[in-house]
Amino acid sequence: MSASLDTSGLRPDVTGGGLGGMPPIDDPCGAGLDWRNGVEGLRRSIAQSATPTDAVLASVIERDIIPRLMLAQEAAPRREARARGALDIRDSTAFARFVLASDPPTIIDQIELLLENGIRLQRIYTDLLAPVARKLGELWEQDRCTFVEVTIGLSRLQQVLHEVARRGTRTPQRHKVPRIYLVPVPGEQHTFGLSMVEEFFLHAGWETACDHAASAETILQTVSRKALDVIGFTIGTDTFFEPMVRLVESVRPIAERRGITILVGGKFLHDHPHLAGQLPGTTLVLDGVSAVGIAEELIARSPREIGSLAAPQTGP
């Protein structure tokens, strides 16, 4: 898709040398070049150039000038964002609006400004990106944003999360790599926090599998057949608590037989931690930052060797 750039303000200087090296309006080398209808108009007039002089000028403009104009157009919002300075990490509402109005590179620029100002990456995950994801959901529930806008915003957050994580420093590869399987309760749509938890485990040197759309049957098959050390469930709303209780009841005997640790977490359990008592055989994780440490401690107590394949369960 071609971009459109308004160049109506870039008229050649009628008094002499032109603007930024552009030929003056009475220069025959510039005759017939249409600057008034944006870059596409300029391209069309270039294509119609007939004389050798026009052809040389057309080549220069097509090869050098137009790409620079396009880059300037793309870079302008990012320069403006940097000029404004970093947004307040405590203002999730302002950052949510910023995410809705900006492309991923511009958002990443803001994250980099926060990092340059001494904000730790884990705090950006937990105190900014996660609250912003929740705020987007609230804006939709309050009819202040459309479903499409919220979906686009969350998609941008996912891109930012993966790009920022990619730039971070990861733990060197372990000799024995622990494995974790991360899933929401089937039907749960609040899964951005799960993506952040996966990044924490990846940075700690774990092997991860994260399936945001896993069915109960898929979860049971995976726990029965795959070499896992930990399975982690997340839940965002009370709607899915009873299904979670039933799912954990189904998974627990298989996990116990195979030496797999079960972690549970998510916003709903964070807000109602006492309900974890209805999920026996599991360990509650209240935030993503502590998840790795809790998992490491639990598997260190396990008699099974990390990353080993316990005897598969023959049936669900």
Helices 147-167 and 192-203: crossing angle in degrees, nearest 10, is: 10
pLDDT of residue 18: 35
pLDDT digits (tens, 9 = 90+) for 229-268: 999 999 988 999 999 999 999 999 999 999 999 999 998 9
Number of domains in the chain: 3
CATH code, domain with 123: 1.10.1240
The percent of the chain in helix, strand and coil, each rounded to the nearest 5, is 55, 5, 35
Question: Out of 17-21, 141-145, 255-259, 287-291, which region has the weakest mean confidence (pLDDT)?
Answer: 17-21
Give whichever of 49-58, 226-235, 286-295 has the largest mean pLDDT. 226-235
* Of residues 130 and 58, more confidently modeled: 130
Average pLDDT over residues 131-159: 83
* pLDDT for res 14: 34
Residue with the bigger pLDDT between 72 and 141: it is 141
Q: How much is the pLDDT for 286?
A: 87
Domain that holds residue 100: 85-167
Pick from 140, 167, 194: which residue ends a domain? Answer: 167
- Is there a single domain that holds both residue 188 and residue 150? no
262 three-class SS: strand
Q: In this structure, are 205 and 282 located in the same domain? A: yes
Same domain, 290 and 208: yes
Would you say 70 and 1 are in contact if contact means Cβ atoms under 8 Å apart?
no
Percent of the chain having pLDDT more than 90? Answer: 28
Report, as an integer, the average pLDDT of 108-124.
Answer: 83
On whether residue 216 sits in a domain, the answer given is: yes
> Sheet containing 230-234: which strands, arranged edge to edge?
207-210, 179-184, 230-234, 261-265, 283-284
* One domain for residues 260 and 157: no
**Dist. CA 183–CA 42, nearest whole Å:** 52
Q: What is the rounded average pLDDT for all residues in the chain?
A: 74
Residue 92 lies in a domain: yes
Question: Is residue 98 predicted with pLDDT exceeding 60?
Answer: yes
In a domain, 307, yes or no: no
pLDDT of residue 34: 43
Q: Does residue 115 carry a pLDDT above 60? A: yes
Report yes or no on 258 lying in a domain: yes
Residue 49 lies in a domain: yes
Determine which helix (DSSP H) or strand (DSSP E) holds 219, and give its type and residue range: helix 216-225
- Residue 175: pLDDT band with limits 50, 70, 90: low
pLDDT at 32: 43
Is 174 a member of any domain?
no
